[in-house]
Amino acid sequence: MLIKPEFVTFVPEVMQPGVAYVSMEYATVIHLCCCGCGNKAVTPLAPGRWHLMFDGESISLTPSIGNWSFPCQSHYWIRQNQVIWEDSLDAAQIASVRATDRRAMQHRQPQPLQRDTDPSKVLVPWWHRVWHWFKR
C-alpha cells in the first residue's frame, strides 16, 4: 500500500485515505489508519516521539505506528511512502512499548529559548528551521 504526503498548514475536515497530511507549522503528521478502519492516526514530530524524513518525493516516519488505542490495533511503518505491516502485539508487548515511550519522553527536557538581542544567537525550534529549509 502507498501513502502520499501532502504538506498542509491545517488538516482538512474530510481526510482522504492514503494521504499523510504533514503540518510543519504544527510539527505533526496525521493520516487515516492504513487498515481502513477510518480512525485518525496522529504522529507528533518531536524528540522522543516521531521523526519525519522527506527526500523531496517521499516521506518516512520513525518509529513504527502502533494504533493500539484503536479497535484494529494496527501496527506498521511508513517508509518512502510505502506502508510496511508489522505483526500484532499482545497486551504485555503493548504495555512494554508504552512504558519505553514514556521513559523516552521523560528524558527529553525542553531546551529553553536563549534570550539575546542578537537574532543569530537565539535558539530556533528545529521544526522552524526545517520548515524554512522546505520553503527555499
Residues 15-25, mean pLDDT to the nearest whole number: 97
- The C-alpha atoms of residue 47 and residue 120 are separated, in whole angstroms, by 23
Please check the confidence at residue 125 and state whether its pLDDT lies above 70: no
Does the pLDDT at position 124 exceed 60? no
How much is the pTM?
Answer: 0.72
Q: Which of 8-12, 20-24, 66-70 has the lowest mean pLDDT?
A: 66-70
Instruction: Tell me whether residue 24 is exposed, middle or buried, using C-beta atoms within 10 angstroms of its C-beta: 0 to 12, 13 to 18, 19 or more.
Output: buried
User: Distance between CA atoms of 16 and 25, rounded to whole angstroms?
Assistant: 20
User: Where is pLDDT greater, at 23 or 87?
Assistant: 23
Nearest CA among 135, 133, 132, 130 for reference residue 46:
130
